[in-house]
Amino acid sequence: MPKKFGFLHFNLKDMPKLSKKAQAMPASPIRKLMPYADKAREEGKNILHLNIGQPDIKTPEVVLERMKNIKRDVIEYSNSEGYLPYRKKLAKYYQAHGIPVMAEDIMITTGGSEALTFSMMTCFDVGDEIIIPEPYYANYSGFSVMAGVEVVPITSSIDDGFALPAAERFEALITPKTKGILICNPGNPTGYLYTQAEMKAIAVLVKKHDLFLIADEVYREFCYDGAEPFSAFNLEGIEENVILVDSVSKRYSMCGARIGAMITKNRDVQAMAMKFAQARLSPPTFGQIAAEAALETPQSYFDAVTKEYTERRDFLVDGLNKIPGVRCPKPKGAFYCVIELPIDDSDKFCQWLLESFELDGETVMLAPATGFYITKGKGKKEVRAAYVLKKDKLARALNIIEKALQEYPGTEIAEENVLTSRS
């Protein structure tokens, strides 16, 4: 970073040091390539953004209409736990999905992010350990650093589509410091949807070792091929151990509303989390108005979105698997996939795509999977793509990835693969 010198007589050694926490915070793997993207754009390249989970789907009309008709003179704080009428309606949403949530179990938060921060701050002390299946949503690392908790990763594999690792592998990682397990279901970045059997295996571990289970279920609405998500809130016998993290961001394509929820039957957890909630006063009022309106979104909206994402997923994943040396399991949920590429280093490849490659004036931005693993060296041959673009753009992206792999100096395709795919 540049320092000002001169008239201020500014002297580096006189400056107070920044915190270890700040140093330890990971940079966002999704956003860290931004400077290269900015440069590519300046050079006139068009960039197809497969790197971020910002959907192009329209926010429901009922939300946009509601915002045009706010009848308030003062945009006041809400209660720290969120508006009661909204929480009551939200409880009904869960009940309609077979999830036994009551209004009093719900604390409205500023996005799912805050629900995760509050959960970690409430449950974990500095030095406590939390087990998270990797690859995982990169910001879990950031929230863990903020709470001072150590992430113990358990690596899942592309070979079985990123299924839940076996219970014995979890047990091998459990120490007296282990206080919780964090899962994302359906998963970001893998798109994997845990089966009922896998969820029950987690419940057994949680019960046996007296752990908290934080379940991030923000992609609940995005399940394909008729698959049904099984909520952690439906696990019997661990009702007081579960904290459900949710968000309206993706469900209604209104990421900017910043409305999420921390949901638990555990009144001690809730009472403690309320102190963190009170310190920040209230979740956003405008966002809560929008989120309450969103609960009236018709089923036809979700049907159309599911159809659209299913088509995009099939188009992208099938297309990827046809490219020599590329492998991508077809996810059952969310709108991401992890792609194995025949490359030396996903960070270098993603940067190279922006800096050194173009096809008809266009390139693709992908997220290197290294940022979704905490185990060093993992994810070097993998990238995450979000299928949040329309099919014509996905077609161009597929074409760019195929041509780029032919040109990229670090491509390592085994000869047999090339022959197979050409045959």
The interface with its own copies within residues 271-300 (CB under 8 A) comprises 271-273, 275-276, 278-287, 290
Please select the residue that binds its own copies; options are 37, 182, 214, 269, rule is CB under 8 A: 269
**Nearest CA-CA partner of 37 in 346, 345, 355, 360:** 355
Q: How far is the CB of 412 from its own copies (least distance, A)?
A: 32
Please select the residue that binds its own copies; options are 63, 106, 317, 397, rule is CB under 8 A: 63
Residue placing its CB nearer to its own copies in the complex, 258 or 393: 258
Under rule CB under 8 A, which residues in 244-263 are in contact with its own copies? 253-258
Match 């009940």 to its residue by tokens: 95
Q: How many residues bind its own copies (CB under 8 A)?
A: 95
**What are 132's strand-pairing partners?**
153
Per-residue binder mask for its own copies (CB under 8 A), 191-230, x = binder:
-------------------xxx------------------
* Continuous H helices in 209-294: 267-279, 285-294
Cα separation, 178 vs 420, in Å, equals: 47
Residue placing its CB nearer to its own copies in the complex, 202 or 398: 202
Please select the residue that binds its own copies; options are 84, 88, 97, 113, rule is CB under 8 A: 113
Q: How far is the CB of 139 from its own copies (least distance, A)?
A: 5
Please select the residue that binds its own copies; options are 44, 126, 360, 377, rule is CB under 8 A: 126
Residue placing its CB nearer to its own copies in the complex, 249 or 400: 249
Stretch that binds its own copies, among 4-12, 97-105, 316-324, 351-359 (CB under 8 A): 4-12
**Residues 48, 52, 53, 58, CA torsion sign:** negative
CA distances from 218 to 40, 76, 193, 319 (A): 33, 27, 12, 27
Stretch that binds its own copies, among 124-132, 183-191, 222-230, 319-327 (CB under 8 A): 124-132
Cα separation, 51 vs 31, in Å, equals: 8
Please select the residue that binds its own copies; options are 37, 99, 123, 385, rule is CB under 8 A: 123
Residue placing its CB nearer to its own copies in the complex, 266 or 363: 266
Cα separation, 12 vs 5, in Å, equals: 10
Please select the residue that binds its own copies; options are 8, 176, 392, 415, rule is CB under 8 A: 8
Q: How far is the CB of 36 from its own copies (least distance, A)?
A: 16
Under rule CB under 8 A, which residues in 170-189 are in contact with its own copies? 179-180
Cα separation, 150 vs 293, in Å, equals: 39
Q: Does 28 bind its own copies (CB under 8 A)?
A: yes
Q: Exposed/middle/buried for 75, CB within 10 Å: 0-12, 13-18, 19+?
A: exposed
Q: Does 237 bind its own copies (CB under 8 A)?
A: yes
Long-range contacts at 3-6 (CB < 8 A, ≥ 24 apart): none
Cα separation, 312 vs 320, in Å, equals: 12
Helix (H, G, I), strand (E, B) or coil at 251: coil
Q: Does 423 bind its own copies (CB under 8 A)?
A: no
118 touches 262 (CB < 8 A): yes
Stretch that binds its own copies, among 2-10, 96-104, 164-172, 409-417 (CB under 8 A): 2-10
**Nearest CA-CA partner of 63 in 286, 258, 219, 261:** 286
Q: Does 139 bind its own copies (CB under 8 A)?
A: yes
